[in-house]
Structure 1
Amino acid sequence: MTRILIVDDQDEVRAGIRTMLQLDPGLVVAGDLSDGLQAIPFLRENPVDLVLMDIRMPGIDGVEATRRIRKEHSPEELRVMVLTTFDQDDIVLAALRAGANGFLSKTASPAELVGGIKEVVGGGGALSAAATAALIGHMTDSPPPVVDRELLLRFGALTPRERDVVVLIASGLGNDEIAAQMSVSPFTVKTHAVRAMTKVGARDRAQLVSFTFRAGLYP
């Protein structure tokens, strides 16, 4: 059973998310809060597996709330997925740097939301198409002035197939698209991606994309 905390300042949004999550018997809403400040003390008393975090809220925003959560809870202990209507690259990057594990739009369908939650809780990272485009756009517009040699050495441990998958992920393709291009199954693509993340020390798919660009491995 996956325990989830919803943090959003709009009552109707929290109610809508709760309704969507109730469609899956493996998900349970442990609580819903109207601002980020409440999340910190709540989590001290109520262990959950994942926080669904809004960005724009009174008090402190979702980025700062995520940053404070990370001071007390590691990514292995607690996952954070940002839900927002904003897909600008600065927000995506700020949320990921604060320790978020995924980034989905509030317009995501129930299936996309549940699928994203399961992906993130399982150790992966979910990024909406718009968030992926924003992240990749930022990296290509502002490439690192100096290649991170330490990261480049980590990528040297990848097999040729793992490296191919990583570069295609960094180009914005999903598992199904990569599978079709490489003539393998989506499960094989996911396996390569997970192994690559382990070898380079990326906590999720989003950080893997960031590491790829910082290592100078542009698609």
Structure 2
Amino acid sequence: MTRVLVVDDQFLIRAGLVGVLNAAPGTEIVGEAGDGEEAVALAARTSPDVVLMDIRMPGMNGIEATEKILAQASDPAPKVLVLTTFDLDEYVYGALRAGASGFLLKDSGPERLLAAVAAVSGGDALFAPSVTRRLVEAFARQTGGAGVGGGGERPPDLATLTSREVEVLELIGRGLTNLEIADHLFISEATVKTHFNRTMSKLSLDSRAQAVVIAYETGLVTPGR
């Protein structure tokens, strides 16, 4: 059973999301929130598997709420799936930078919504990686490592990583799957996962999408290359 927290400041959109998810087998709605502060409090109380997070809300926006939810969560932390009206949205970039696992357009149909929830809850590497890379390429260079709408932290130093971990991070930034990375580096998929898990730990990352952002912001991957 996938436990979902739905966050959106518009009642009709929130109700529609809840209706679709409630009708899907294997999904349970553990709470609804109309703003970021309520979302943070509900996430702490209900420990959802997935948070559907509206990105632009009055008061605490989705970036700040994502940061707080992931910071306070016990292991395993919930997967945050950002809801947005525009695919090239600097606020969505900020949310991915803060640790969100992916994003979904609000005009997506029910099948797309359910597929996205299933993807992130099942530990899928990255939902819609090509779209996510396009978003990251659009904003990584212009932000210069400054967070959008969040704390403005600089990207981490990659000096703590081994040469192999750097290679894996670069290929993740280019959008390759673990299997593709394994084939490229002539190592097993399990070894790729080990290197990436160590990278996540060393750089204090919460999601693969966040790793893609870091790969661009540190210059490991160049937009358009």
**Range into which the TM-score falls when normalised by the shorter chain:** 0.7 to 0.9
Query: Cα 1:57–1:190, aligned 2, differ >3 Å: closer, same or farther?
Result: farther
Query: Cα 1:116–1:141, aligned 2, differ >3 Å: closer, same or farther?
Result: same
Q: TM-score, normalised by structure 2?
A: 0.70
Which secondary structure state, in structure 1, belongs to the residue aligned with residue 161 of structure 2? helix
Give the Cα–Cα distance (whole angstroms) in 2 for the partners of residues 205 and 142 of structure 1.
20
Amino acid at match of 2:4: I
Stretch of structure 1 that moved more, 76-85 or 38-47: 38-47
Query: Cα 1:203–1:194, aligned 2, differ >3 Å: closer, same or farther?
Result: farther
Deviation at 1:17, TM superposition (A): 1.2
Give the Cα–Cα distance (whole angstroms) in 1 for the partners of residues 108 and 191 of structure 2.
27
CA contact (8 A) 2:81 2:101 kept: yes
Query: Cα 1:22–1:194, aligned 2, differ >3 Å: closer, same or farther?
Result: farther
CA contact (8 A) 1:92 1:131 kept: no
In structure 2, the gaps of 5 or more residues are: 146-154
Say yes or no: does 1:10 pair with 2:13. no
Counterpart in the other structure of 2:80? 80
Q: Render the CA deviation track for 1:161-194: whole Å, top value 9, x for unaligned.
A: x57xx53x534x576xx96xx9x8xxxx987874
Q: How do 1:47-196 and structure 2 match up within 5 A?
A: 47-74=47-74, 76-123=76-123, 124-127=125-128, 130-140=131-141, 150-151=157-158, 154=161, 156-158=163-165, 167=171, 170-171=173-174, 194-195=193-194
Amino acid at match of 1:82: V
Which secondary structure state, in structure 2, belongs to the residue aligned with residue 80 of structure 1? strand
Give the Cα–Cα distance (whole angstroms) in 2 for the partners of residues 19 and 190 of structure 1.
38
Which secondary structure state, in structure 1, belongs to the residue aligned with residue 87 of structure 2? coil
Give the superposed CA RMSD.
3.6
Counterpart in the other structure of 1:217? 220
Deviation at 1:18, TM superposition (A): 1.8
CA contact (8 A) 2:102 2:132 kept: no
Give the Cα–Cα distance (whole angstroms) in 1 for the partners of residues 95 and 120 of structure 2.
15
Q: TM-score, normalised by structure 1?
A: 0.72
Amino acid at match of 1:63: I
Q: Render the CA deviation track for 1:52-104: whole Å, top value 9, x for unaligned.
A: 11012233221222223233215732222111113345212321233322222
Paired residue total: 205
CA contact (8 A) 2:14 2:32 kept: yes
CA contact (8 A) 1:155 1:199 kept: no
CA contact (8 A) 2:132 2:209 kept: no
Give the Cα–Cα distance (whole angstroms) in 1 for the partners of residues 50 and 88 of structure 2.
23
Give the Cα–Cα distance (whole angstroms) in 1 for the partners of residues 129 and 84 of structure 2.
10
Query: Cα 1:192–1:85, aligned 2, differ >3 Å: closer, same or farther?
Result: farther
